[in-house]
Structure 1
Amino acid sequence: MILLTGASGQIATAVITTLLRQLPSNQIAAFVRNPAKATKLQAQGLDLRIGSYDDRDSLDRAMQGIDTVLLISGTEEGKRVQQHQNVIDAAKKAGVKRIAYTSRNLRNPATLANTLMHEHFQTEEAIKASGLMYTIFRNALYMDAIPQFIGGAHSFERGIVLPAGDGRVAFALRSEQGEAMANALVQLHNESQIYALTGSQTWSFADVAQSLSELTGKTIAYTPIEGSAFAANLKQRGLDDQVIQRILGFMTDIKLGQEDQVSASLETLLGRKPSGLKAGLSSIFAEALQANEH
């Protein structure tokens, strides 16, 4: 029996889609905070378990009868390491055999600009210290996040302006990372595993601009700018300082090569090459590209 935490979220949805092709629905349990957001999961026949990362009693109940837990990273900065520890403790207490975790694939955690990422590696250490068998998925940046970084379809007209320099990213689609995770979870291993789930090559934002130019039939330029100018632009658009610093952290790490790593794990687990940049962008921007044609 596999339990997914954060089961109504996007990455969990991608994992569940593939699990349901390989397992009966009664072998999949979904841990959710709000049952109103889990009606689709219930309709699919999943075993709903209600609670939160902060509610230790609900975690204890959720772990009953579970063999493998997929701990999907929480989103509450500053709190999530303790929340993850609560999940790990409950899993160990209930005799769960394996814990899996959605971490991040970055070149050198010690030199990260985006300090929020440290919480992933603290969680990895907590999992290893638990003594449980583990599967750690170190995910590349979602290709699906590109619209947020570049300003969505507005970039078709104004171009892409970011402080990422010539930095390259091994982008991968969220759906394919979820599919690969599901495939790994149903495999029986007697040892712990770490998978780096990346695209099969890396791309710069100049490559993103080139692919979008080909898809739209327009000339879309990428202009690298300094971080201070970028932050000032975001401030003018009304973003708060914390959000600006997080975006700037992502961009700085890209510029410094933190995301410039390729692994074969995603291709191996999928049994095919992951989607390339142009194909992925065509899917992600499907509606905007259709509108662009008219």
Structure 2
Amino acid sequence: MILVTGATGQLGRLVIQQLLMNVPATQIVAAVRSPEKASDLAALGVVVRKADYSDPATLASALEGVDKVLLISSNELGQRFTQHSAVIDAAKAAGVKLLAYTSVLHADTSLLALAEEHRQTEDYLRKSGVPFALLRNGWYHENYAASVPSALAHGAHFGSAGTGRISSAARADYAGAAAAVLTSSDSQAGKVYELAGDDAYTLSDFAALIAKQSGQPVVYTDLPEAEFKGALLGAGLPEEFAELLANSDAAAAKGALFDDSRQLSTLIGRGTAPLSASVAAALPK
């Protein structure tokens, strides 16, 4: 049995889609806070179980009979480590054979502010005694593609990444890597994967790509981190999210989102999807 946490999230659903290609639905457990939101997965034969990070009893019951767990990192900043450790404790009690955790690229040395809770989780995993694999995911293409409509509206993409190179990949590629690790016949215990796209780009390249595909002028405007955060706040983003985006861009300027090891494409057995595909999908129809 393979259990996926956050199974109704964007990454979780893609992982389950990938697993269904090689694993019987009855051997896949979708762990979710709201089972009613997973009715489509249940209709496919996937086992749906309630799992609430704040309710250890639900974690224990969700993990019954489970051999492998994919712990998809929580999106609740500031609460992630507590939530993750609860799942790890439950996995240990259930005697799972492998827990794969979606961390962040180069978590041990990353300048990203969001890396701290990932470092805490990785350290907790190491001390837990649970066999584990670390899937250190880089940035998603979709993180930047979401800004395509705004860039077209303003004729510019704003950021603080300078000339830092970014090795992002499509969310589906990261899902494929997770599925590959979970279904591998080779032992994955102790493996650490630095996962990133095959091709790196700067935000100037990103703006040029939007311009090329849309036929409209778009340029990259680099701002100091504080000024970029202010612009995001002015656009209506919540303080915490604006801080996260600005910090991430500033860290990218120093190489935090770059990796050229191609471990992701090796895991999925093909080249990673190009950024151009995500930009094309984000263009207004």
Fold shared, TM-score > 0.5 on shorter chain: yes
Q: Percent identity?
A: 34
TM-fit CA distance, 1:244: 2.1
Equivalent-residue separation in structure 1 for 2:63 and 2:232 (angstroms): 43
Name the SS of the counterpart of 2:280 in structure 1: helix
Matched residue SS, 2:114:
helix
- Structure whose residues are more often helix by fraction: 1
Cα deviation 1:89-108 (Å, max 9, x = unaligned) = 11111111110101000376
Within 5 A, what are the aligned runs for 1:46-125?
Answer: 46-106=46-106, 109=109, 112=111, 114-125=112-123
For 1:203, the equivalent position in structure 2 comes to 201
TM-score, normalisation: structure 2? 0.94
The alpha carbon displacement at 1:16 in A equals 0.6
Q: Deviations over 1:144-169 (max 9, x none)?
A: 11134xx3313124211212111111
Task: Write the mapping of 1:1-294 to structure 2, written as runs, cut at 5 A.
Answer: 1-106=1-106, 109=109, 112=111, 114-148=112-146, 151-157=147-153, 158-190=155-187, 191-283=189-281, 285-286=282-283, 288=284, 291=285
Superposition RMSD on alpha carbons, in Å? 1.6
Instruction: Give ranges in structure 2 of 5+ residues lacking alignment.
Output: none
Contact 2:148 2:279 (C-alpha < 8 Å) held by counterparts: no
Instruction: Check conservation: 2:104, 2:137, Cα contact below 8 A.
Output: yes
- Farther off after superposition, 258-267 or 63-72: 258-267
**1:120–1:273: structure 2 CA closer, same or farther, 3 Å change rule?**
same
- Spell out, residue by residue over 1:225-275, the C-alpha distance to the aligned partner (whole angstroms, 9 max, x if none): 222322332233333432221121111111121112122211112211111
Contact 1:165 1:224 in 2 (8 A): yes
Which range moved further: 180-189 or 14-23?
180-189
Contact preservation (8 Å) 2:135, 2:195: yes
Shift of 1:13: 0.8
